[in-house]
């Protein structure tokens, strides 16, 4: 049996804008997807025949790291809600890539960079060519990751990724950022609206709206907040980060990726938080709040009909499970 697991991610700043030149800042959180593999007569997923059309990410990773002549029975066990903006498919992709690689006789993938690249190719193909390497890099590396359109000298550079997208050629540099413990030990509350959302549809909608100038202006402001937050993050001041998150949410409302349910959850948790915003592609999915009163936030999320998850910052990225 070969197993690997990888964390979910939450985007603090720069969702959508990262596809148009802005930096994205994302952290790994301690919800994880685990993939276990066993030798089998045929390819199975959780006991049923495996269909790559229904599970394109997994199909893609099998094509890159698996051995098609030696079928496996794949079991997925995940605490990450699916299609909820928390990077469940990215976590599944990197965990399955690492487990598949182990099944071929490696203790770990030759390089985690190749794993992150393969997982990003799977995301890009599932999202109609519009996918930044944010989710897949965070699930691979753990900790805090900054993805930007050029290298940031003050940060640890991990790798660069290029992509031909329907909106032209894209280039991203992926960096790791170490977050002061004054910030990393603050509980992270996730509120799931219970409404799933398609990242592919949301990124398509945003791409169509990028033609209008008022929309582009809001996107530029998201980019400014994201840029400034890189310095604020290294100071570890939760009030300043929370304030930037809440301002970022107002802009995400303007670009039309929030929803009544997301806004209601934000209003409910704000009195108990440093700040809150939607996280990920939006349209449904989740909010993220930084709070020293996680129970109070969770109760408010429940009262609004949402599903709370009290989580924390996860330092460890993809790993072989014992």
Taking the complex as a whole, how short is the minimal distance between the CB of residue 141 and ligand MEV, in angstroms?
15
Nearer to ligand MEV, 50 or 309 (CB): 309
For ligand MEV, what does the binding mask look like between residues 19 and 48, x meaning CB under 6 A? x-----------------------------
Q: Which residues contact 215 (CB under 8 A, 6 or more apart)?
A: 209, 255
Q: Which residues contact 191 (CB under 8 A, 6 or more apart)?
A: 265, 268, 269, 286, 287, 289, 297, 301, 304, 306, 307, 308, 309
User: Which member of 3, 5, 16, 190 binds ligand MEV (CB under 6 A)?
Assistant: 16
Taking the complex as a whole, how short is the minimal distance between the CB of residue 314 and ligand MEV, in angstroms?
16
E strands, the chain, are 2-13, 24-39, 44-45, 48-49, 72-78, 144-148, 156-165, 168-177, 188-192, 275-279, 286-290, 307-311, 319-320
Residue 134 touching ligand MEV (CB under 6 A): yes
Taking the complex as a whole, how short is the minimal distance between the CB of residue 14 and ligand MEV, in angstroms?
7
Q: Are the C-beta atoms of residues 82 and 93 closer than 8 Å to each other?
A: no
- The reply to whether 135 belongs to the active site is yes
Q: Which residues contact 157 (CB under 8 A, 6 or more apart)?
A: 151, 173, 174, 175
User: Which member of 89, 95, 109, 135 binds ligand MEV (CB under 6 A)?
Assistant: 135
Taking the complex as a whole, how short is the minimal distance between the CB of residue 130 and ligand MEV, in angstroms?
7
> Active site residue: 135, 162, 173, 231, which one?
135
Query: In the bound complex, which residue of the shown chain has the CB atom lying closest to ligand MEV?
Result: 132
Taking the complex as a whole, how short is the minimal distance between the CB of residue 108 and ligand MEV, in angstroms?
26
Q: How many residues of this chain bind ligand MEV (CB under 6 A)?
A: 15
Q: Are the C-beta atoms of residues 238 and 247 closer than 8 Å to each other?
A: no
Distances, alpha carbon 141 to alpha carbons 7, 90, 222, 273, in Å: 9, 12, 25, 27
User: Which member of 15, 173, 261, 300 binds ligand MEV (CB under 6 A)?
Assistant: 15
Q: Give CA–CA dist 146/158, Å, rounded.
A: 10
Angle at 200 between CA 52 and CA 7, to 5 degrees: 70
User: Which member of 265, 281, 286, 298 binds ligand MEV (CB under 6 A)?
Assistant: 281
Taking the complex as a whole, how short is the minimal distance between the CB of residue 134 and ligand MEV, in angstroms?
5
Q: Which residues contact 76 (CB under 8 A, 6 or more apart)?
A: 33, 34, 35, 45, 46, 92
Nearer to ligand MEV, 79 or 198 (CB): 198
User: Which member of 96, 132, 264, 321 binds ligand MEV (CB under 6 A)?
Assistant: 132
* 17 three-class SS: helix
- Dihedral angle sign, alpha carbons of residues 46, 52, 58, 62: positive
Q: Which of residues 182-241 bind ligand MEV (CB under 6 A)?
A: 199, 203
Taking the complex as a whole, how short is the minimal distance between the CB of residue 282 and ligand MEV, in angstroms?
8
Nearer to ligand MEV, 72 or 188 (CB): 188
Nearer to ligand MEV, 10 or 37 (CB): 10
For ligand MEV, what does the binding mask look like between residues 145 and 184, x meaning CB under 6 A? ----------------------------------------
* 66 three-class SS: coil
- Contact positions toward ligand MEV, by CB under 6 A? 11, 15-16, 18-19, 85, 87, 131-132, 134-135, 199, 203, 280-281
| Active site amino acids | 135
């Amino acid at each position: 049996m070969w197993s690997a697991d990888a964390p979910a991610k939450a985007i603090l700043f720069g969702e959508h804008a990262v596809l148009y030149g802005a930096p994205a800042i994302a952290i790994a959180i301690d919800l994880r997807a685990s993939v276990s593999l066993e030798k089998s007569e045929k390819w199975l997923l959780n006991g049923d025949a495996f269909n790559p059309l229904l599970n394109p990410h997994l199909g893609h990773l099998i094509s890159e790291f698996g051995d098609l002549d030696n079928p496996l029975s794949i079991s997925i066990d995940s605490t990450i809600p699916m299609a909820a903006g928390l990077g469940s498919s990215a976590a599944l992709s990197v965990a399955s890539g690492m487990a598949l690689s182990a099944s071929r006789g490696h203790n770990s993938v030759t390089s985690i960079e190749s794993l992150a690249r393969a997982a990003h190719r799977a995301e890009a193909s599932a999202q109609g060519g519009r996918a930044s390497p944010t989710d897949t890099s965070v699930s691979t590396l753990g900790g805090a990751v900054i993805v930007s359109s050029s290298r940031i000298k003050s940060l640890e550079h991990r790798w660069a990724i290029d992509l031909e997208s329907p909106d032209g050629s894209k280039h991203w540099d992926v960096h790791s950022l170490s977050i002061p413990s004054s910030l990393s030990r603050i509980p992270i509350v996730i509120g799931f609206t219970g409404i799933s959302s398609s990242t592919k549809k949301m990124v398509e909608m945003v791409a169509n709206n990028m033609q209008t100038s008022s929309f582009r202006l809001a996107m530029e402001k998201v980019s400014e907040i994201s840029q400034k937050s890189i310095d604020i993050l290294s100071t570890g001041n939760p009030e300043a980060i929370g304030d930037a998150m809440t301002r970022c949410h107002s802009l995400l409302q303007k670009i039309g990726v929030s929803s009544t349910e997301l806004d209601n959850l934000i209003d409910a948790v704000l009195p108990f938080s440093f700040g809150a915003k939607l996280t990920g592609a939006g349209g449904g999915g989740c909010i993220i709040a930084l709070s020293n009163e996680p129970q109070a936030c969770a109760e408010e999320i429940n009262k609004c009909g949402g599903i709370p998850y009290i989580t924390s910052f996860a330092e460890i990225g993809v790993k072989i499970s014992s």
